[in-house]
Amino acid sequence: MRQKLLSWGDDYTIKDDAGRDLYLVDGKAFSLGGQLSFEDMEGRELAFIKQKLFKLSPTYEIHRSGVLAAVVKQELFALLHHRFTVDVPGPDDLEAKGDFLDHEYVFLRGGREVATVSKRWFALADTYGVEVADGEDDVLILASAVVVDQACHRDDGKRH
């Protein structure tokens, strides 16, 4: 994922491992709270991300085709470290653990690693990779990684 340096709102281009543009995350400038449209390169919306305002901890909803697909929440009171939960309908919830400020973390489902987020292999400060396991929902995991980035790296230039 690579965040655009000059854009209105928070915009991301997501490329595949060969460097081809795959998805665009379009930040809705001038909106109250964080709102992002997760689109394919033809401009079709695949998911819509909306921040829930007035929550104790950062909380975002991911909608797909107008239906709530997941609620991503930063757990502020975890005993040993901060973590994010991705609450999806049914038993397939995800948990993100690791170093969120430096983009070094994993997504787990039932204790099994399903995706890895890392800046390790990239020289550019605004670029990081997300490797998603085969058979997993790429769009949901990538949208969840965007939420983590929004919650931990707000556009005021400070890391949270």
Please give the Cα distance from 83 to 73 (Å, whole number).
9
Over residues 83-92, the pLDDT tens digits come to 899 999 988 8
pLDDT for res 125: 60
pLDDT for res 64: 96
Share of the chain above pLDDT 70, in %: 78
- CB contact at 8 A, 62 and 70: yes
Q: Angle 70-18-148 (CA atoms, 0-180°, nearest 5)?
A: 25
Please give the Cα distance from 93 to 70 (Å, whole number).
9
Q: What's the start-to-end Cα distance of the chain, in Å? A: 19
pLDDT for res 134: 93
Q: Return the residue matching tokens 């305002």.
A: 53
What is the model's pTM?
0.83
Please give the Cα distance from 144 to 49 (Å, whole number).
9
Q: What pLDDT band is residue 5 in, cutting at 50, 70 and 90?
A: very low
For domain 2-152, the CATH architecture is Beta Barrel (2.40)
- CB contact at 8 A, 12 and 4: yes
Over residues 123-135, the pLDDT tens digits come to 666 678 899 999 9
pLDDT for res 136: 94
Domain boundaries, the chain: 2-152
pLDDT for res 131: 92
pLDDT for res 114: 96
Average pLDDT over residues 139-149: 91
Please give the Cα distance from 64 to 47 (Å, whole number).
5
Average pLDDT over residues 26-51: 83
